Amino acid sequence: MLKTDLNRAICSYRFLAGAIATVAIMIFGSIGMIENNERTAVAALQYSYGYNNIIELILLADAIVYSASFASEWQSGFYKSVMIRSNQTQYYLSKCASTAVSSGLSVDFGVAAYIIFLCVTQKDIAPLNIEAEVLVFGDLLENGHPILFFSAYLYVIFLQAMFFGLVGLLASGYLPNKYVAYATPFVVGRTFNQIVNFLNLPFWMDPLRLALFHIYGPTANVLFVETAVFLLLTVICTVWFVRIGKRRVANG
């Protein structure tokens, strides 16, 4: 079942659309920062990903990949034939896993294409004064590992896209409508961001800011915090969706 779900998620126009939308948002949202070709690829990536609400718009591209899969199958009645061949728990876990993986990969492909674009168009890969200009993962650049630097960025972005893809799926468990699944990640991300800012709560309580790399220190420490928080949120969404899905089927 998981193999079938992953094939449907990844081998679809929505997966490609999510990747294309991501790279388009990154490029056009930061065109003023990179058009003069005077930034390094590293600096351009840091500034463009953190400014102009680009990360919020990427959540819309994230959701179109597979977050609406359950809503579509519920409305068509297709879920019934699938559950007959397995069971409810397997069905819902498969939906969660395929949504998480496909959402993360689609956004990552888009960001990776943007990174390649920056490396080709900007004057250099890394700044000369790494300690002064690089906000996070600077130790990787200082040790001469730009590929690992970009990989660390892609890893955290994958975790965030994975979580917010599940947020859309979870919303469709309450209201099986594809537009609800598409819009909810953006609404939830924006709402959490505003609440955390207003109440001056710790940054790690805001899944939107968490991927903006407000954690400083050795790369291993940053990746540990990012991984722990996003995986915890992902597990919560998965368990929540399974329970909501079973309740919806039981109530007809």
Instruction: Render pLDDT for 167-195 as a digit per residue (tens, 0 to 9).
Output: 999 999 999 999 999 999 999 988 888 88
Residue with more model confidence, 4 or 50: 4
Say how far residue 39 (Cα) sits from the centre of its chain.
Answer: 26
| C-alpha distance from residue 230 to each of 46, 63, 149, 235 (Å) | 20, 17, 20, 9
Largest CA distance in the chain: 62
- Compute the distance between CA of residue 60 and CA of residue 24 in angstroms, rounded to an integer: 12
Q: What 3-state class would DSSP assign to 222?
A: helix
Highest mean pLDDT (candidates 49-58, 205-214, 231-240): 231-240
Closest CA to 4 of 69, 71, 80: 69
Stretch 155-165: mean pLDDT, rounded?
94
The H or E element containing residue 4 is: helix 2-10
Q: Where are the alpha helices (DSSP H) in 12-137?
A: 13-29, 31-34, 41-50, 54-63, 69-76, 78-84, 88-121, 130-133
Per-residue pLDDT reduced to its tens digit, 67-90: 999 999 888 888 888 877 778 889
| C-alpha distance from residue 120 to each of 15, 28, 87, 125, 144 (Å) | 25, 16, 50, 9, 19
Token pair 């840091």 in the structure block, residue: 46
Task: State yes or no: pLDDT of 19 exceeds 80.
Answer: yes
**Stated pTM of the model:** 0.91
Quickly count helices (H) and strands (E) in the chain: 14, 0
- Compute the distance between CA of residue 139 and CA of residue 144 in angstroms, rounded to an integer: 9
Per-residue pLDDT reduced to its tens digit, 98-145: 999 999 999 999 999 999 998 888 888 877 766 545 667 888 888 888
Q: What 3-state class would DSSP assign to 18?
A: helix
| C-alpha distance from residue 153 to each of 22, 107, 138 (Å) | 15, 12, 12
Give the pLDDT confidence score for residue 132 in this predicted structure. 47
- Compute the distance between CA of residue 244 and CA of residue 92 in angstroms, rounded to an integer: 10
